[in-house]
Amino acid sequence: MRRKLVVGNWKLNGSLAANASLLGGIVAGLDGGADCGVCVPAPYLAQAQALLTGSPVSWGAQDVSAHAAGAFTGEVSAAMLADFACRYVIVGHSERRAYHAESSELVAKKAIAVLDAGMSPIVCVGETLAEREAGQTVVVVRNQLGAVLALAGERFAQIVVAYEPVWAIGTGKTATPAMAQEVHARLRAQLAETNAISAGAVQILYGGSMKPDNAAELMAQPDIDGGLIGGAALKAADFLAIIHAGK
């Protein structure tokens, strides 16, 4: 049986003071439910580690360099993230694909860098509205995930997949549970092409306007194993409600 997992993606939000209050509220309010974590901006990893060590809340980063070291100004390596005991690193978020022109091949290299450093990449896949309307959803997400699987081989068992339809991110429009389940089932079938037993254990999260009022229904679907939460992860009460919906 897969455990539910709810991960907050803080994006470009936070400050030392705001983070302390948010993380304090989450830790104080936790009462069972899904496993949980927060992916914070890199400068706040030391703070997250200090405040969350010994708590049930994991932490991680939102991106990573595909390179191990060298002349790559501004980049942060997987080993650096591992130095702060990150458990998860998001790779291939649609905002990075769109605003930083990240290809699926680059995303795959980043996922491998994360695996090599002993952490779990949260590999994001998802179609744009135009792609959905053109009937290309299945092909788009298959290609995005396929690039990672081609490099990861059997190590795919260590990844977390996040299906995030681009048109649902930050828009208040959520995929219906049935729409999301259909894609999640396809993604799991694709994982099973490498190893059916491992595929049954991989957590596939849904992301895109998941909120307290729709989380339980989404997570009740057989292949939706939790959520990657943007906006609603910035308020302790909302984030806790989603975690608690993942019983």
Residues that bind ligand PGA (CB under 6 A): 9, 164, 169-170, 207-210, 228-232
Of the residues 93, 102, 131, 244, which is catalytic?
93
244 is catalytic: no
Q: How far apart are CA 140 and CA 46, in angstroms?
A: 36
Minimum Å distance from CB 58 to ligand PGA? 16
Q: How far is the CB of 171 from ligand PGA (least distance, A)?
A: 7
Instruction: Name the residue whose CB lies closest to ligand PGA.
Output: 230
Tokens 């405040």, located at residue: 51
Question: With DSSP H G I counted as helix, E B as strand and the rest as coil, what are the percentages for the chain, rounded to 5?
Answer: 50, 15, 35
* Least CB distance to ligand PGA at residue 228 (A): 4
Judged by beta carbon, residue 92 or residue 230, the one nearer ligand PGA is 230
- Supply the minimum distance, in Å, between the C-beta of residue 164 and ligand PGA: 6
Give dist(CA 114, CA 107) in Å, integer: 11
Between 67 and 211, whose beta carbon lies closer to ligand PGA? 211
Q: Is 227 left (phi over 0), alpha (psi -120 to 50) or beta?
A: beta
For ligand PGA, the closer of residues 54 and 162 by Cβ is 162
**Is there a contact between 76 and 48 (Cβ–Cβ < 8 Å)?**
no
Minimum distance from residue 39 beta carbon to ligand PGA (Å):
9
> Is 164 in the active site?
yes
**How many Å apart are CA 115 and CA 93, to the nearest integer?**
17
Query: Phi/psi at 215 (nearest 5 deg)?
Result: -65, -45
Q: Which CB, 153 or 170, lies closer to ligand PGA?
A: 170
- Of 102, 127, 164, 184, catalytic: 164
- Residue closer to ligand PGA by CB (options 12, 178) is 12
Please answer whether residues 2 and 224 qualify as being in contact, where contact means their C-beta atoms are separated by less than 8 angstroms. no
CA dihedral 15, 17, 22, 25 (to 10 degrees): 170
First-to-last alpha carbon distance for the chain, in angstroms, is 12
Annotated catalytic sites, by residue? 93, 164
